């Protein structure tokens, strides 16, 4: 596993949510959905860092992160690790769904989009901070009335909220099988695939997969079939 030296350059606070600017070589910045495993020197605690936005000297990492981190905290980084979002070339309308307390891990999909290629709408109950100007945002309650709009969905959900996914898509006019998308499963990943401890296991179709190794981004249909 590749080891990289990194540093906390800045701690940012928006609407009560903290993010950190991570100084590191730009060639190791994770793609949307991937993560870097971070360990601050003198500690054994590992923290997965997900891309929230690009930065010329590294990247803005989505929350959460240890409260002990301060500007200047030296980090040992491993990665990038895991599977990233892979948006199909034929989409025209992208729906972003954040089921947790942040939408930051989905925003790179909006920040890197071409407005002349496809439209994007975010459904979330999380605080809305620093959204791209052309990104429309609605509460999760509006999702079921908009299921016929998007032709692809990118979802961010805590592991404990996976059961709710099928409920949100239950009123799809064309049925669950017609929905295309991918799901970023956010959960604790203490071994980050090194020990295959199973803490982050998620059911995909009829088998169990490790979020740290096989994910954290999974096919939406596989997740829905695992729930059903």
Over residues 212-227, mean pLDDT: 88
Instruction: Supply the CATH number for residue 180's domain.
Output: 3.40.50
216 and 141 in a common domain: yes
Q: Nearest-CA neighbor of 17 among 104, 140, 75?
A: 104
Number of domains in the chain: 2
Residue 86 in any domain: the answer is no
Q: Which H helix or E strand runs over 214?
A: helix 211-214
- Asked if the structure places residue 8 within a domain, the reply is yes
For residue 227, the model assigns a pLDDT of 75
Single residue among 58, 81, 104 that ends a domain in this structure: 81
CATH of the domain at 77: 2.40.30
Residue 62 DSSP class: P
Mean pLDDT, the chain, rounded, equals 85
- CA atoms within a 13 Å half-sphere pointing along the CA-CB vector of 80: 21
What's the token pair of residue 220?
């939406």
pLDDT over 70 at 192, yes or no: no
**12 shares its domain with 113:** no
Position 128 in a domain: yes
User: Which residues have CB under 8 Å from 11's CB, separation 6+?
Assistant: 18, 19, 20, 21, 69, 70, 71
Owning domain of residue 52: 3-81
Provide the pLDDT for residue 179. Answer: 83
Residue 87: inside a domain, yes or no? no
Q: Is 213 helix (H, G, I), strand (E, B) or coil?
A: helix
Question: Are 171 and 144 a contacting pair, CB within 8 Å?
Answer: yes
The reply to whether 153 and 211 lie within a common domain is yes
The string of pLDDT tens digits covering residues 30-78 is 999 999 999 987 777 889 999 999 999 999 999 888 888 999 999 999 9
Token pair recorded at residue 17: 């949510």
Q: What is the pLDDT of residues 15-34, one digit of tens each?
A: 567 889 999 999 999 999 99
**210 & 130 share domain:** yes
Identify the domain boundary among 31, 52, 81.
81
Considering the domain architecture, whether residues 72 and 107 belong to the same structural domain is answered as no
Same-domain pairing of 223 and 120: yes
pLDDT digits 0-9 by tens, 123-175 = 998 887 677 777 888 898 888 777 778 889 999 999 888 888 878 877 665 66
Residue 113 confidence (pLDDT): 53
Peptide bond into 64 cis (omega under 30): yes
The verdict on 67 and 109 lying in the same domain is no
């Amino acid at each position: 596993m590749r080891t990289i030296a990194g540093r906390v350059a800045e701690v940012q606070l928006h609407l009560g949510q903290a993010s950190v600017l991570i100084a590191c070589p730009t060639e190791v910045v994770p793609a949307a959905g991937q993560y870097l495993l971070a360990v601050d020197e003198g500690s054994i605690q590992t923290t997965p860092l997900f891309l929230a936005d690009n930065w010329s000297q590294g990247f803005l990492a989505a929350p959460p992160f240890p409260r002990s981190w301060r500007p200047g905290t030296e980090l040992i980084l491993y990665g990038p690790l895991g599977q990233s979002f892979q948006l199909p070339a034929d989409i025209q309308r992208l729906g972003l769904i954040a089921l947790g307390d942040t939408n930051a891990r989905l925003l790179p999909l909006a920040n890197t989009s071409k407005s002349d290629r496809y439209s994007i709408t975010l459904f979330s109950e999380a605080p809305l901070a620093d959204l791209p100007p052309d990104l429309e945002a609605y509460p999760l309650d509006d999702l079921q009335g908009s299921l016929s709009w998007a032709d692809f969905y990118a979802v961010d959900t805590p592991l404990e909220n996976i059961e709710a996914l099928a409920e949100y898509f239950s009123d799809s006019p064309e049925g669950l099988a017609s929905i295309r998308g991918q799901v970023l499963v956010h959960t604790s990943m203490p071994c980050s695939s090194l020990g295959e401890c199973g803490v982050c296991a998620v059911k995909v179709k009829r088998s169990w997969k490790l979020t740290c190794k096989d994910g954290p981004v999974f096919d939406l249909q596989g997740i829905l079939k695992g729930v059903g």
